[in-house]
């Protein structure tokens, strides 16, 4: 018999004294006690991209995911932004291509035109031959269903490509305090942007056999600069050079009794000092004083109630966006799960994400915390803190999946620790981030971690 990790973890070689110490924990036989007294994870989700399906085929990937990580849920990153893959390493660990450079904000399904009648913005499909002739979402959903898995689709960070965001649809883009467009971030208060977003989700839920639609759409810019990055006071100050001050936001704020124009005016001296765009010497001096002091974030909010109002308004705006998406898709499929992919895990309220307000408009939350790939065991407590923060805000009842970073610089030990922490923090399952960048040993570490954490999937 070959001395494989699978044989070890299946307990086939349990009596052998020469097993490595870390393998010992993985050899526990499937006793009646283990069947009775284990925690149950409802879901282990994995994401795939169209290029993974081209390179390896859906069924073989599913077999690998099931065999190694006990995966039972599969989703396509169905609308993907412009980002080099694999993200955290030079080359793919197992795809047949070495790298891939996706086009900007393309959908990997065949959009159904009737869903976009009320939207001036239409989705873009791939221009590339290897992708444009296949509905990749249809292919993935059918394969996953055949295997008895849950199915999902993700709308990723950006839904509008940079070119159209700078051109014909610049009016839907968020604005900074000076009125400048913020890249390709759409404003949730802009009616045209919202019509497009609703059309995308409607198309997915109406035309595909999905259990969940997941999104990590980038919310408001928190205006981060490199200076004083981690300090709460600095982070609160930085939001004044974030977004959004567009006309739609002014109107939405007015409806809530918040005068955004007046707040904008009050924040300008500080914004000028922070962005070094202003010539207000007194504001510049004040900023230097604050940075040299131990002034708290709370002090800033008390002295600048306009900043606090601005933060509350942005959270209310994002919550309203999710509630509209949730209502629209629940009207089509009452069982559909709208899953927030929570990818900001520090100071998330400063981007407009407030879990306690969002929870009633969500089916589930995916913590997108990938601390494993920091490569440091001491950093894993930060993962625990984020998971507990989500639970504390969203409550114990919402379905909560904990992502595990299975990419370099993660190690099998860190992956197993991440699974254990997830189990200890009340997660209902895992979500792998991401298959395309995951060496086999890290996929196997998920399965090992589940066994070590006394968790079974089902
Ligand atoms: Zn706006």
pLDDT digits (tens, 9 = 90+) for 193-249: 999 999 999 999 999 999 999 999 999 999 976 665 679 999 999 999 999 999 999
Distance 200 CA to ligand 1 centre (A): 20
Q: What is the pLDDT of residue 412?
A: 98
Q: By three-state DSSP, how is residue 81 classified?
A: coil
pLDDT at 391 exceeding the cut of 90: yes
Per DSSP, the three-state class of 431 is strand
For the record, the structure tokens of 387 come out as 């998971």
**Cα–Cα distance between 366 and 355 in angstroms, integer?**
12
Ligand 1 centroid, distance to 172 Cα (angstroms): 8
Closest-CA residue to 451 (of 9, 6, 3): 9
pLDDT in tens, 150-165: 999 999 999 999 999 9
Cα of 244 from ligand 1 centre, angstroms: 4
Distance from the alpha carbon of residue 194 to the mean position of ligand 1, in angstroms = 11
144 alpha carbon – ligand 1 mean position (Å): 38
Q: Kindly tell me if the per-residue pLDDT of 23 is higher than 80.
A: no
pLDDT confidence of residue 228: 55
What is the value of pTM for the model shown? 0.92
Centre of ligand 1 from the C-alpha of residue 175, in Å: 6
Q: Which residues surround ligand 1, an ion (CB under 5 A)?
A: 187, 189, 244, 246, 248-249
- How much of the chain exceeds pLDDT 90, in percent? 86
Mean pLDDT to the nearest integer, 121-140 = 98
The overall average pLDDT reported for the chain is: 92
Cα–ligand 1 centroid distance for 188 (angstroms):
7
pLDDT at position 378:
95
Structure token digits, residue 199: 């059309």
Lowest mean pLDDT among 42-46, 73-77, 272-276, 411-415: 272-276
pLDDT at residue 26 tops 60: no
Q: Which residue has the higher pLDDT, 124 or 230?
A: 124
> Which pLDDT score is estimated for 185?
97
Among the ranges given (58-62, 283-287, 414-418), the one the predictor scored with the smallest mean pLDDT = 283-287
Pairing type for strands 399-405 and 364-367 reads parallel
How far does the centroid of ligand 1 lie from the alpha carbon of residue 176, in Å?
A: 9
**pLDDT tens digits for range 185-194:** 999 999 999 9
**Residue 168 alpha carbon to ligand 1 centre in Å:** 17
**pLDDT for the residue numbered 405:** 97
Under a CB-based contact definition with an 8 Å cutoff, are residues 391 and 418 in contact? no
- Higher pLDDT among residues 293 and 227, named by residue: 293
């Amino acid at each position: 018999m070959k001395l494989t990790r699978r044989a070890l973890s299946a307990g086939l070689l349990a009596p052998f004294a020469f097993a490595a110490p870390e393998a010992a924990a993985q050899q526990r036989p499937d006793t009646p006690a283990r069947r009775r007294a284990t925690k149950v994870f409802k879901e282990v989700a994995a994401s795939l991209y169209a290029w993974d399906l081209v390179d390896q085929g859906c069924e073989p990937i599913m077999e690998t995911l099931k065999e190694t990580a006990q995966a039972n849920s599969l989703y396509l990153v169905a609308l993907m932004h412009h980002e080099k893959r694999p993200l955290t390493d030079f080359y793919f660990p197992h795809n047949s291509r070495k790298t891939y450079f996706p086009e900007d904000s393309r959908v990997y399904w065949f959009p159904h035109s009737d869903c976009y009648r009320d939207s001036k913005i239409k989705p873009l499909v791939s221009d590339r031959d290897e992708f444009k002739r296949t509905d990749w979402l249809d292919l993935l959903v059918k394969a996953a269903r055949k295997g008895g898995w849950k199915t999902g689709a993700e709308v990723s960070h950006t839904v509008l490509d940079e070119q159209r965001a700078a051109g014909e649809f610049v009016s839907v883009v968020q604005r900074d305090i000076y009125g400048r467009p913020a890249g390709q971030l759409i404003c949730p208060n802009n009616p045209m942007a919202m019509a497009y977003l609703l059309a995308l989700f409607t198309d997915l839920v109406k035309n595909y056999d999905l259990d969940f639609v997941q999104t990590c759409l980038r919310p408001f810019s928190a205006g981060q600069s490199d200076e004083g990055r981690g300090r709460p006071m600095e982070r609160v100050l930085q939001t004044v050079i974030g977004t959004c001050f567009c006309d739609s936001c002014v109107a939405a704020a007015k409806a809530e009794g918040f005068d955004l124009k007046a707040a904008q005016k009050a924040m300008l001296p500080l914004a000028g000092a922070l962005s070094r765009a202003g010539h207000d010497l007194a504001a510049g001096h004040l900023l230097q004083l604050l940075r040299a002091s131990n002034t708290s974030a709370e002090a800033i909010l008390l002295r600048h109630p306009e900043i606090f109002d601005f933060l509350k308004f942005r959270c209310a705006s994002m919550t309203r966006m999710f509630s509209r998406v949730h209502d629209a898709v629940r009207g089509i499929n009452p069982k559909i799960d709208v899953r927030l992919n929570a990818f900001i895990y520090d100071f998330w309220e400063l981007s407009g994400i407030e879990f306690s307000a969002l929870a009633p408009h969500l089916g589930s939350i995916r913590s997108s915390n990938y601390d494993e790939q920091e490569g440091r065991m001491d950093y894993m407590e930060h993962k625990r803190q984020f998971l507990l923060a989500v639970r504390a805000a969203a409550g114990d009842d919402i379905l909560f999946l904990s992502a595990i970073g299975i990419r370099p610089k993660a190690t099998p030990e860190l992956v197993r620790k991440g699974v254990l922490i997830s189990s200890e923090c009340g997660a209902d399952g895992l979500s792998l981030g991401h298959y395309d960048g995951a060496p086999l040993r890290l996929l196997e570490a998920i399965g090992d971690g589940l066994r070590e954490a006394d968790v079974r999937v089902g």
